[in-house]
Amino acid sequence: MLKCTTCNTNILAKDNFVKFFCPNCGEELIVRCSTCKALGNTYKCKKCGFEGP
């Protein structure tokens, strides 16, 4: 089950979402719901600690 990296919401309950690998280490999958993305909420990579909007 995919969950938003920022708010931990089940992505299947949302209309839109994005997923991409960490721009710093390229190893951890980052998943963001449309709400967190629109609000610019910070996400943090669990592998390397990179934080981004």
**Residue 33: domain span:** 11-52
Mean predicted lDDT score pLDDT of the chain:
92
Mean pLDDT for 19-23 is: 96
| 22 contacts 47 by C-beta, under 8 angstroms | yes
Question: How many domains, in total, are found in the chain?
Answer: 1
pLDDT(15) > 80: no
Mean pLDDT for 1-26 is: 90
pLDDT(41) > 80: yes
Tell me the pTM: 0.85
CA distance linking residue 7 with residue 35, whole number of Å:
9
In a domain, 47, yes or no: yes
Reported as a pLDDT band with limits 50, 70 and 90, residue 2 is confident
Residues 6+ apart with CB under 8 A from 21: 27, 28, 29, 30
In a domain, 30, yes or no: yes
